[in-house]
Amino acid sequence: MLNRLVVFFGLFWVVTSAFGQSIERYSIIPRPAQLEPRAGEFIISRSTTIGVPFGQPDLKAVVDTLANHMNRSTGMNLSVRNVNKLTVPENLIEFIPSPDTTLGDEGYRIDATNKLITIEASSSKGFFYAVQTLYQLLPPAVFATKHPVPATNLTTLSIPACRIQDRPRYSYRGLHLDVGRHFFPVPLIKKYLDLMAMHKFNNFHWHLTDDQGWRIEIKKYPKLTQIGAQRRETIVGHYDDYDPQVFDGKPYGGYYTQDEIREVIRYAASRYINVVPEIELPGHALAALAAYPELACSPGPYQVATKWGVFDDVFCPTEKTFSFLQDVLTEVINLFPGKYIHIGGDECPKTVWKKNAFCQQLIKREGLKNENGLQSYFINRIDKFVTSKGRRIIGWDEILEGNGPAIRLSPNATVMSWRGIKGGIQAARQQHDVIMTPGQFCYFDHFQGDPAQEPTGFGGSLPLAKVYSYNPTPPELTTTEATHILGAQGNIWTEYISTWDQLNYMLWPRAAALAEVVWTPLNQKNYEDFTRRLPVLFERLSTLNVTYARTIYDVSFSAKPTGDGKVDVSLSADKQAPQIRYTLDGSIPSDESLQYERSLVLDKSTTIRAATFADGSALSQLAKMRKDYIVSKATGKPYTLLNAPSAGRPDKNYSLTDGVTGGMGGYEVAGVVSFSNDINAVIDLGQSQSIEGVRVGFLKYTAKNICLPKQVEISVSEDGKTFQLVLTAKTNPAEAGKRGFVRLPFDFSPTTARYVRIIARNIGRVPAGLRNPGKAAQLMVDEIEVR
């Protein structure tokens, strides 16, 4: 619940949230186009009436839903009445249809005073979005799904006085969900739609088929779900976590019956969400080929994929295949009433087509240039069929490839630009409608914080601020070309997302940021203002039992060695997180832990754990942020690399002795120096001293050809010219298993020296028994310590 103590602050009222932070009184996401704050509030009590005009059944359905929800969550019994000018009760929330065309189909006005709230819109869709704004003007407890027991004193509610005039910036505001890799049953799909509706998204892109599972019942082809919906097992961890890859041995499956599909469509429609089905073609087809191998270019057999990636086996462009796909799409079109059918078109390898005699003959017969032209031919056939049924295709931006004078997409085809923005620009200039969904701004399976600290993700970095910064309309487009940008969509691919909680962690609050990108006028966007509204969003989500990421409150670490061989560590956090508390013994911080005030100077190897707090309440996840620092006789000391590092991961400011250990998550590796040959480093300790061991942190990542060395040699010297060998140690470059940093110790009898030379011998080629035998091996190291 929000604290009811109210303070005036500039143009906005400020309250205190359960997180202990000051926030805007009008914590609406997405931010309305126009909002005029006013003093006072409208009190909702058991005497409040919600009024609708006679003869407006669609509007009354929207209002009944509002009343039922508030009654269920608060224990009130608000009444909905047909009212006219002669029977206006006091304490009224009145819904008034408006002839004002400037509101558009989805716009609305809210005028809230102490005594009356009037809501205007020109359609039931506009009224629906007005209701979503009303919910967000109320305390987060109104989002409770049922009245608490024992009852709280939520017998009155209030809406802050204001005037809002609002309409969306873009007509297409989408969220995507991949159910091919991991399946989410209908009750969770409905919750997904509820969260979309709350944030005024209006298109649900349902990715129903892929290599790892076919999830929609097709009556004419029952084996699609009997065989294609089941895989025998699933890869464990990230794709490259293990060498060899490890599988769980557990059958996995699931699909939606056509009745369930209809149920979801009805549910979405009641929330003014259109459902866009995706049937992948010609690639990502293994699940279908496992069921009907005759649709491939070779007889198979095939199996539903048990791991992730792009596979060479794709649909063969035979008449049998086109008949099959037309039958499937006919059933899909009969199920889904929306105008869009997504046909995929992405990541289709041409390997099989290049080798197949039929495909080569087809290329010649149709006068195509090559296999890219054959893909264009394939997409064009499907495009024409879908268009003949009165629908329009959407395809990933690869559908633009291979087009020529003889084969072009129909003008009705819409392009979904995912490989950056170039595809969207190209399509708009060709007068195709475009939905922007570039991976660098819209792929919510990417990491939102430090990959080493986050749950398993695909890879790449997409922090909340970057999502919010996106402008879907490329400035390169002319005014006319820009009219083809329908909007944007957030995508969430589920290779590494298997649970409802993890799905929501990856979505929220990034999806809320995108909601504001596609709804709010560009000149009204303000990231700092958005972050001030997040605490109330988080309370709403908590009330709905929806997991979310608090990455915005995470602690950031930066470190540098000092001149006297220590490590100076600085901690920082977003200004919305006023306190940082930390521990130096590896324990989880609490509100009683040390408060960070100045940089920490470490004189020994230390694990720092840190979290942010406000008024004694944790903001960041307590067990999350930790960093390991190494302090040794080598810390901060210069060295010479007698073999140059690889250009892709060079040495930066003596990073092998800076005390900072490397990190890894997804496909991301940080804090390492790479060598394509031997490592040959000479460290200058600054003065002669007693030493008795060296420890080197190597990265073992054999799936990426990064092996441990075959041998390490340690030598010492007083003058840096004449070295004495003190240790030769054999190591195991063929060691496989789980990837990770391996800190190998090399101990020897105490000796006195100023210089230490470490030579780590590269195996040269990846040994047999690993994933890529015979490939050039690399060495990667993150930190060298001397004891």
Task: Report, as residue numbers or ranges, the catalytic residues.
Answer: 347
Task: Bin 481: left if φ > 0, else alpha if -120 < ψ < 50, else beta.
Answer: alpha
Find, among 403, 426, 402, 405, the residue nearest to 416 by Cα. 426
Sign of torsion over alpha carbons 121, 124, 129, 132: positive
DSSP state of 247: B
Sorted by sequence, the CB contacts under 8 Å of residue 303 that are 6+ apart come out as 231, 232, 286, 290
**Cα separation of 727 and 695, whole Å?**
12
DSSP state of 706: B
Find, among 617, 551, 539, 542, the residue nearest to 578 by Cα. 617
Are 409 and 394 spatial neighbours (Cβ–Cβ below 8 Å)? Answer: no
Residue 621 in tokens: 């996840």
Find, among 519, 448, 502, the residue nearest to 201 by Cα. 519
C-alpha pair distances (Å), 552 with each of 191, 450, 546, 670: 24, 11, 17, 20
CA–chain centroid gap for 470, Å, is 14
Q: Cα 591–628–616 angle (5° rounding)? A: 10
- The residues with which 785 forms a beta bridge, in sequence order, are 695
**Cα separation of 442 and 456, whole Å?**
18
CB atoms within 10 A of CB 114: 14
Strand pairing of 274-281 and 203-207? parallel
**Cα separation of 334 and 352, whole Å?**
33
Per residue, what are the HEC states of 589-613? CCCCCEECCCCEEECCCEEEEEEEE
Q: Cα 481–484–490 angle (5° rounding)? A: 125
Are 377 and 319 spatial neighbours (Cβ–Cβ below 8 Å)? Answer: no
Residue 297 in tokens: 């270019």
Phi, psi dihedrals of residue 53, rounded to the nearest 5°: -75, 160
**Cα separation of 181 and 634, whole Å?**
47
Q: 223 exposed, middle or buried (CB, 10 Å; 0-12, 13-18, 19+)?
A: middle
Task: Please give the helix or strand (H or E) that residue 441 lies within, else none.
Answer: helix 439-442
DSSP state of 32: P
- The residues with which 37 forms a beta bridge, in sequence order, are 162
